[in-house]
Amino acid sequence: MSNDWPLYEVFIRSRSGLEHRHVGSLHAADAAMAVEHARDVYTRRQEGVSIWVVRSSDIVASDPNDADALFEPARDKVYRHPTFYAIPDEVKNL
Amino acid sequence: MSAGSQSIRPGSVQSAHCRYLLRLGDTSLVLGQRLAEWVGHSPALEEDLGLANLSLDLIGQARLLLSYAGELEGQGRGEDALAFLRDAPAFLNLTLAEQPNGDFGRTIVRQCLLDAWQLEVYAALADSTDARLASIAAKAIKETRYHWRFSSGWLVRLGDGTEESHRRVQEPLNELWRFTTELFAADEVEDEVAAAGIAPRLTELQPRWSARIDEVLQEATLVRPAAIPYQWHGKRGVHTEHLGHMLAEMQHLQRTYPGAQW
């Protein structure tokens, strides 16, 4: 039965103010059922206060084969990290 | 959880208040046990967890209600002794709750009819003069709203689905409908707790249950069966053959190893 159902990706917001995070996927006949399934599968231990679901087929992903082109060039650009500033002692939470 | 081996003293009489709590608690316990039978057998992993969640909610309700009933009874029986060491005639659940699961469609029909009943009962019990029962109901109503959402959603999907899925909910609906008369047939126990303001009058709840069921049946393109005057008496301890078989499995461990814990 679940083989006939499309796959949905599930995103859960664990607390108000935090972002939704990807927690996994599940099968459901439609979006409404996917939300209920997500409630039953991924929030049984009080993991969340809000659920997003999206059809897995609607997600546009980068191609792992393009990883060299996409991500390698950033490797030697250390100057993009804000690590060259002297931080005053008075600043606590930076 | 430990069952112990307390037995009821001869000649003890349970008050209407206590018996009413047993009716509510046993209905939740038996229905919860039925749903637990689905674990590992549901049509899909997601539904397996869904039914297990419903089951755990119901067993949680049963624990609170049976513990309270045991205290009122005053015979030293706790939730476990009541759940695991009573025989079928001492169970006071609604007959509908003990009916076998059948297929997924039949389970959904049974669940819908009882969820709609619990919705009305718990909503009314939130105003009970019995503050402890009111607080149990206030917790249970939140769970029951989700149960109804789950079961009614599935009833509509199946009823308004394919020809086969329609047939597989209409047939159990026709078959199980006979047990719904008992849901609202008050006897001296319910009259007494209603008079004391502990519980609502069942006759007042019926129109709301009926309207809720009619609405979902219409959306599910299902036909409401004709009323059947014959009344079942599960809540008076007179059960169909199915309860004994269910209890044999449910109580096996405590009966074989009294007081076993883990």
Give residue A80's pLDDT band: very low, low, confident or very high (50, 70, 90). confident
B239 has a pLDDT exceeding 70 = yes
Q: Which residues of B touch A33 (CB under 8 A)?
A: 153, 157
For residues A64-86, b (16+ Cβ closer than 10 Å) or e, as one string? Answer: eeeeeeeeeeeeeeeeeeeeeee
Q: Which residues of B touch A5 (CB under 8 A)?
A: 44
User: Can you name the residues that pair with A9 across neighbouring β-strands?
Assistant: A25, A54
- Which amino acid does the sequence have at B117? W
B13 has a pLDDT exceeding 90 = no
Nearest Cβ partner for B46 among A32, A41, A44: A41
B1 has a pLDDT exceeding 70 = no
B18 has a pLDDT exceeding 80 = yes
For residues B24-45, b (16+ Cβ closer than 10 Å) or e, as one string? Answer: bbbbbbbbbbbbbbbeeebebe
Per-residue confidence (pLDDT) for residue A94, from 0 to 100: 65
Interface test with A, best of B42, B46, B55, B164 (most A CBs within 10 A): B46
Supply the ipTM of this predicted assembly.
Answer: 0.72
% of chain B surpassing 70 pLDDT: 95
The answer to whether B153 contacts A41, with C-beta atoms less than 8 Å apart, is no
The answer to whether B46 contacts A32, with C-beta atoms less than 8 Å apart, is no
Q: Are B107 and B250 in contact (CB under 8 A)?
A: no
Mean pLDDT of B143-172: 97
Residue of A nearest to B52 (CA): A40
B9 has a pLDDT exceeding 50 = no
